[in-house]
Structure 1
Amino acid sequence: MDENDASLSIGAFARRVGLTPSALRFYDDCAVLRPARVDQATGYRFYGEYQEPRAVLLRRLRSTGLPLSEVTSVLDGSAEDTRTLLREHLHRMRAQANAAQEAVAELLRSLPVPELEAVLGGPELASAIRQVVPSAATREGYPVLGCVLIEFADAEVRLVATDRYRLAMRVLLPRSLRGDPARLLVPAPELARLGSWAARAGDVAVEFNAGEARLRAGAESVSLPIVDGDFPAYREILRGLDVAPHRIIVDRTALRAALADGVRRVLLRADGEELVVEREHECATMPAICQGRPPRIAFDPAVLGPAVEAGVGPDVLLEIAGVAQPVVVRSADQGSFTTLVMPVATEDSEFAGDNGGH
């Protein structure tokens, strides 16, 4: 420290470094940023120009919300210690932001539902309904799973359905969206029926107010039946997916044809640049791009087949994390539609039962 350089009053130094005099007094009291000199007669604090970098860094760190105890460690620690502390702080901030966002969205959903309107392209909405509805449950006993979730949040409209063995999601970008985040549960058969109506319209407005929902196209409108219930936490399911190290890209039509009806199980295995689909006592072979070393994996064709058929374009992409984890089915021509399909146990696997993967 060069006390001869201590020529800046606390006010002048505060202006140079972007801190207030009261903040500088506080940091002095906390021994984070001591003045270069204190006049013993007056008690005035004086600072030197050499202290500017530390003061500016202190201001920047505090602006991120870094606790003062960690600020001192950054100011006085090594570069590696600084990187570690800042990475940990960044992780905390992201976790807190996500938790706050979820909490606010949940509070908004719990309030009396305000007016909401989302304008979508009619054919686009009809396409999303066609893709998602087949993944809703058809068996009695699970009324919520027999519905399609229509979710309005984050400037998007999401249609989601699941029967526990597969999950389908289509993300739509509305032409306009006003209102607070909301969720509607619509019985899948009713939504499928309304899909044909939406396909004939140019723009369709989804309106929700006072607990009632409607679809409107011009002067024509139809009621959108909704039910009460808690839909599965599908966002947590998607966030919990492991990174898939194996990928198979194959002709969508050829794969769908190989998933024969009436067969309880088909086995998929990669063989060089080919995909082999084993069906009981016969096999179907087709060209494929296989990335990684995809494991032998089995499916119920009644579950995988509709997921493949619902895609768009000539190719289908299978992202495989493991033989007992959901397989992501995507289309290269439409990234807004995603399906998760649970595999079943292979006959020679360690998983017991025909539905060991479910």
Structure 2
Amino acid sequence: MRLTISEFARMVGLAPSALRFYDDCGLLPPAEVDAANGYRYYDRSQQPRARLLRDLREIDLPLPEVRIALDADPADVADLVRSHLRTLEAKSTATREAATRLLTQLLSHQTTAALGGPELASAIRQVAPTAAATTEYPGLDCVLIEFSPDELTFVATDRYRLAVRTVRPVEFGGVAGRVLVRADELARVSRWAAAGEVVRVEVDGGLVLVRGEESRELAVVDAEYPAYQQILDGLTPPVCRVAVDRAGLLDVLVGRDVVAFDIDAESLRIGDEVKLDAIGSGSVRVGFTASMLAAALEASVGPDVLLEICEPARPVVVRSADQGTFTTLVMPVRLDG
């Protein structure tokens, strides 16, 4: 039984105009076209293709990929959909970041947060050294500061390391937002901030830190910044997690270029020459540039440090047992043999 375009449209959830468009595109030609009047007629057997076409367009899959999907195996269609979703998620993240930057610019004078001075200084000390030392990559010589009523997040990366510290504000007023400031400029006010019981952080064109009757103004940098949260969200569960004495680990890194660790649940070893007691689970062999790992350890606090290793080629999480608000990621290096 042949169906008119209106009947078929109601059956598959597409408008008649959409069916005409998809016929013109060659994606869903009718089963029959009346030569006398040009009317299109469809067959019930075309319903699965029409509904798949409808669903693919509802997720905004581009027409060239829709053409491929309509004649592909279900597994291949699933791969196309997953790839498209990843693209949409990345675009959504970029859109949110752009909107946040715009809102910050438009409403920046309304954003004020009060932090404990020593806590602000600690966050700066821990995060700023991770920023890039050169301006080769715009924005990476900066610290990203994200504002929200629940916390301020300080972020820095040089592509090989990532440091993230959160601080809970004593007070917050205004809108959530984010700013970029030069890491070296921020580092220079760390000691000044530490001397204040409370430091107010105000965004008003630039970034202004207020301590009592004194203030320090820092220029805001207009640049793109890596989507660090995607990196954190993309970490897989660790195959090896080990806690080790921080000072002892720092000592064995002195004078070394690249270091290879053999780690198990009870120890961290460097060949036959070094063995540090450890507590953890899993086992792995992983390598680091000694100076990179040492910098992450120096920024941590407390006697112990926790290493979480997903796999030897993925970022390693370095956490402080005494401060859950600070996280560092360090890229391992490839080991020969």
Common fold, TM-score beyond 0.5?
Answer: yes
Looking at structure 2, the residues matched to 232 and 10 of structure 1 have their Cα atoms a distance apart, in angstroms, of: 49
Report what 1:184 is aligned to.
181
Q: Deviations over 1:277-326 (max 9, x none)?
A: 79xxx96632332633224657359x727735624695522548669x97
Change (3 A) 1:130 1:230: same
The 8 Å contact of residues 157 and 173 in structure 1, kept in 2 or not, is answered as yes
CA deviation map 1:185-234 (0-9, x unaligned): 4431313431452xx45xx7532113352448xxx675243146688956
Structure 2 residue aligned with 1:169 = 164
1:284-295 paired onto structure 2 within 5 Å: 285-289=276-280, 291-295=282-286
Counterparts of 1:113 and 1:196, CA distance in 2: 30
Deviations 1:114-143 (A, max 9, x none): 4251546x35x74364144155459xx979
Structure 2 residue aligned with 1:223 = 215
> Offset of 1:170 from its aligned partner?
1.0
1:330 and 2:323 aligned: no
SS at match of 1:171: strand
Cα RMSD (Å): 5.1
The residue that corresponds to 1:208 in the other structure is 203
Q: SS in structure 2 opposite 1:169?
A: strand
Tell me, which stretches of 5 or more residues in structure 2 are unaligned?
none
Partners in 1 of 2:134 and 2:68 — Cα distance? 55
Q: Which residue of 1 aligns with 2:17?
A: 22
| Residue 274 of structure 1, CA deviation | 1.6
1:307 to 279, 297, 302: 297
The Cα shift of 1:80 comes to 3.5
2:64 aligned partner = 69
* Cα deviation code 1:44-96 (max 9, x no counterpart): 43445444333222111112222333323322332233234334433444454
CA radius of gyration, larger in: 1
**Residue type at the aligned position of 1:331:** S
Alignment coverage as a number of residue pairs: 322
Q: After superposition, where does 1:30-109 map in structure 2 within 5 Å?
A: 30-97=25-92, 104=98, 108=102
* TM-superposed deviation, 1:159: 1.4
Q: Is residue 12–residue 51 contact of structure 2 (8 Å, CA) maintained in 1?
A: yes
In 2, Cα distance between equivalents of 1:326 and 1:81: 31
Q: Is the 8 A contact 2:104 2:178 kept in 1?
A: no
Contact kept, 8 Å, 2:202 with 2:209, in 1: the verdict is yes
Partner of 1:223, secondary structure, is strand
Give the share of equivalent positions with the same residue, in percent.
Answer: 31
Match of 2:8? Answer: 13
**Aligned AA (2:243):** V
Tell me the secondary structure at the aligned position of residue 166 of structure 2. Answer: strand
Counterpart residue identity of residue 208, structure 1 = V
The aligned runs of 1:226-241 (5 Å cut-off) are 226-227=218-219, 239=231
Q: What is the one-letter code of the residue matched to 2:187?
A: A
Aligned residue among 113, 120, 125 for 1:133? 125
Q: Distance in 2 between matches of 1:221 and 1:15?
A: 71
Report SS of the residue matched to 1:294: strand
Shift of the 33–260 alpha-carbon distance from structure 1 to 2, 3 Å rule, reads closer
Separation (CA, whole Å) in 2 of partners of 1:24 and 1:162: 50
Counterpart residue number, 2:307: 317
Q: Is this contact kept in 2: 1:215–1:221, CA < 8 A?
A: yes
Q: Identify which range, 52-61 or 240-249, moves more after superposition.
A: 240-249
SS in 2 for 1:178: coil
The answer to whether the 8 Å contact 2:143/2:180 transfers is yes
